[in-house]
Structure 1
Amino acid sequence: MKILNKIKKSIFPKSLSENATTSFVLEKTGNQIYTGPFAGLAIPDILKPNLKLAEALGLYEYALHGCFSNLINKNIENIMVIGGHKGYYPAGLSNLLRPNNMYVFEMDLNFQPLIDSWIEVNNLKPYQTFGEASEEILLNWTERIDFLLIDCEGAEDFLLQPQKFNWQKETDILVEIHHFYNNKILGNLVTRFKDTHDLLIIYDDISENEKIHNVLEGLGIEGSFRGQPNHRWILDENNNKIITAGIFLYMSVKNT
């Protein structure tokens, strides 16, 4: 055991910044997501400098893993993601569920190369990509959507209106609730969807960082990745970072 410990100390660095730790982990895992429902997904070179450690390990938003596990028991042929960001979820869901169609909306065009970069390296079916998810697009949407994922920094109140966008009544939905922008949003969505969907409120798993720490410890790395996840924050009116907690609403169409 003492010999093994000496070997570990000689191979693995003791303490690193998050970016350096992510690079180190990717080197040891073959540049693939390490665990979780998206395990084995190859990480494009363009994303390596921008990837969160939790994403590389497959532990990002760990509280949602149960939702993604439930989806494998459903016939998910068409997925819409509103808020594509760096493409982590479009790629992960595409690789896990192999839908016929993946529709990705992202307002910030700077993210588009990042979203697309996952496709070739993982041999995924190309997405259909859009800019803003406008009222006109959602009103005139005719394709069935089996699963809708939304992370849009406060726009969820506008985007989720089943009385206006009728197709949402037959769509399973997972949405991050940004209650710090609108403290009535959770109640609004519950009222709108409770007759057509089974609803589940999901809170950030406060042990997510502890799980990250345990993996790093197994690699002989000491890091400051303990406690509640700290990757959630907003800017207040004075441009100060305000730490927030993650709250999600999973809405599954009721069986009739």
Structure 2
Amino acid sequence: MSIEETLRAHLPAPLFAAARRVYNSRPSAVRARRGHRLDTRAGRAVAEAAGWTVARGPFRGMTYVEAYGDLGAKVLGSYEEELHETVEELIAADYGTIINVGAAEGYYAVGMAMRCPDARVIAYETSPRGQALCTQMARLNDVQVDVRGTFTAQDLTTVGDDRVLVVMDIEGGELPLLDPAVEPALAEADHLVELHDFVDPSITPTILERFRGTHDARIIRTRDRRPADYPELTAATARVLDEHRPCPMEWALLTKR
């Protein structure tokens, strides 16, 4: 439960309103709101200048919608650029089914559907807004994406395909889901998973150990962006290169042997 939800649940309405005003007037909260406004403005400026079309990367040419976050980076093509080479490898691997867990508005789900037209793409997103945006973006790009709600590992047992890729980004929830001892079907799929060790430092070593006997593992690390690589950016829009990660992070590519 968030701080706001806790206060709302335990305080009378007048006291809650007063507490909320005090909480939101903190200097850090004021700076965060200002930063969010600047990020939103910069992201929309980049998207509008690009005609709401992804400019570079593996999903170049994808028509975009109003994103959850990192709109400018996604349209610019700098979003998770550390993965561009890996994504191209996965596209060439010719999977029969691609499952995107934590799909948000559909950057990976719709992008992979565009690049892998023969694959079945399933997008799992718990947020109704994300589901609606993913459906909208699939329609705009004339691709088929099966948009669903919450993912469970047991969903893999219904796929019925021996070439399955799972792309997962669920903000630290990967540890309870990625356990082939609980759901053996996980051991039959390949996985590209963002690792959120700042939430729980045991995530990376635990997941690598769980798949050590069945999969080859590759770790991909975040790296800094250079505004000079994106000549269309201005002093005001260069802030879209910041993907707001709390620290250097990693992804694991787990490929079945």
TM-score, normalisation: structure 1: 0.76
Any unmatched runs of 5+ in structure 1?
A: 1-15, 233-242
Asked if residue 43 in structure 1 is aligned to residue 64 in structure 2, the reply is yes
2:189 maps to 1:159:
no
Q: Give the CA deviation at 1:250.
A: 0.8
Aligned to 2:95: 76
Cα distance in 1 for partners of 2:132, 2:61 equals 21
- The match for 2:248 is 245
- Distance between the aligned counterparts of 1:121 and 1:159, measured in 2? 31
Question: Runs of 5+ in structure 2 lacking a partner?
Answer: 1-36
C-alpha separation between the residues in 1 aligned to 2:106 and 2:240?
27
The match for 1:219 is 232
Q: 1:30 is matched with which residue?
A: 51
| Aligned-partner SS, 2:158 | coil
Contact 1:79 1:99 in 2 (8 A): no
Question: Structure 1: which 4+ aligned runs deviate by more than 6 Å?
Answer: none
**Equivalent residues in 2 for 1:141-152, closer than 5 Å:** 141-144=158-161, 146-152=164-170
CA deviation profile, 1:60-119 (whole Å, cap 9, x unmatched): 011111110111321212111111112111111111222431111112222111111111
Question: What does 1:178-217 correspond to in 2, within 5 Å?
Answer: 178-206=196-224, 208=225, 210=226, 213-214=227-228
Q: 1:97 aligns with which of 113, 116, 124?
A: 116
Taking the aligned partners of 1:247 and 1:154, their CA distance within structure 2 comes to 12
* TM superposition shift of 1:142: 4.4
Q: For 1:123 and 1:40, how far apart are their aligned partners in 2?
A: 12
Percent identical pairs in the alignment equals: 24
1:88 aligns with 2:101: no
1:220 and 1:154 map into 2 onto residues whose CA distance is 32
Query: What is the CA-CA distance between 1:227 and the residue it aligns to?
Result: 11
The one-letter code matched in structure 1 to 2:63 is A
May I ask how many residue pairs the two structures share in their alignment?
220
Report the CA distance between 1:186 and its aligned residue: 0.8
Amino acid at match of 1:214: A
For 2:140, the equivalent position in structure 1 comes to: 121
CA distance in structure 1 between the partners assigned to 2:98 and 2:153 by the alignment: 19
SS at structure 2 position matched to 1:72 = helix
* Distance of 1:49 and 1:228 partners within structure 2: 15
The one-letter code sitting in structure 1 at the alignment partner of 2:190 is D
Deviates more, 1:19-28 or 1:110-119: 19-28
Query: 1:86 and 1:180 mapped to 2: Cα distance?
Result: 24
2:3 match: none
1: CA distance, partners of 2:137 / 2:55: 16
Q: Name the structure with the higher helix share.
A: 2
- Which range moved further: 48-57 or 31-40? 48-57
Preserved contact between residue 77 and residue 98 of structure 1 (Cα < 8 Å): no
d(CA) in 2 for partners of 1:86, 1:166:
29
Q: Contact 2:114–2:143 at 8 Å: present in 1 too?
A: yes
Match of 2:21 in 1: none
Q: Return 161-170 or 34-43, whichever deviates more.
A: 161-170
* Cα distance in 2 between the residues matched to 1:28 and 1:227: 13
Distance in 1 (CA, whole Å) between partners of 2:138 and 2:122 is: 13
